[in-house]
Amino acid sequence: MNQISVQELAQRLSSGDTSIQLVDVREPQELDIASIEGFVNLPLSQFTEWGDQVPTLFNPQAETLVLCHHGIRSAQMCQWLIAQGFTNVQNISGGIDAYSVLVDHSIPQY
């Protein structure tokens, strides 16, 4: 599975690239604490509620970046997306925790 660093993520976000799909698999209460603008929230615990909608919500050929707290849940989501036929999926290494430490200190850690 491909990985992208939080520094690379920051560059991609600042470039204004609208072709990338951004998915955050954290829980809503985690988003209340810390979030990055532009990500679609699909909580992994609510998979049964959104799992069948993914092919209509996202383009399987577009670059898809997946975020969680540290990178474990996002890695699971990446594997699932690849199994669904997504061809360009990247796990955000270190998750929002690393983003908060290395890129944007205004994002709270939890």
Cβ density class 17-51: b for 16+ within 10 Å, e for less: eeebbbbbbbbeebeeebbbeebebbbbeeeeeee
Hey, which residues are catalytic here? 68
Q: For residue 2, which of 57, 82, 85 has the smallest C-alpha distance?
A: 82
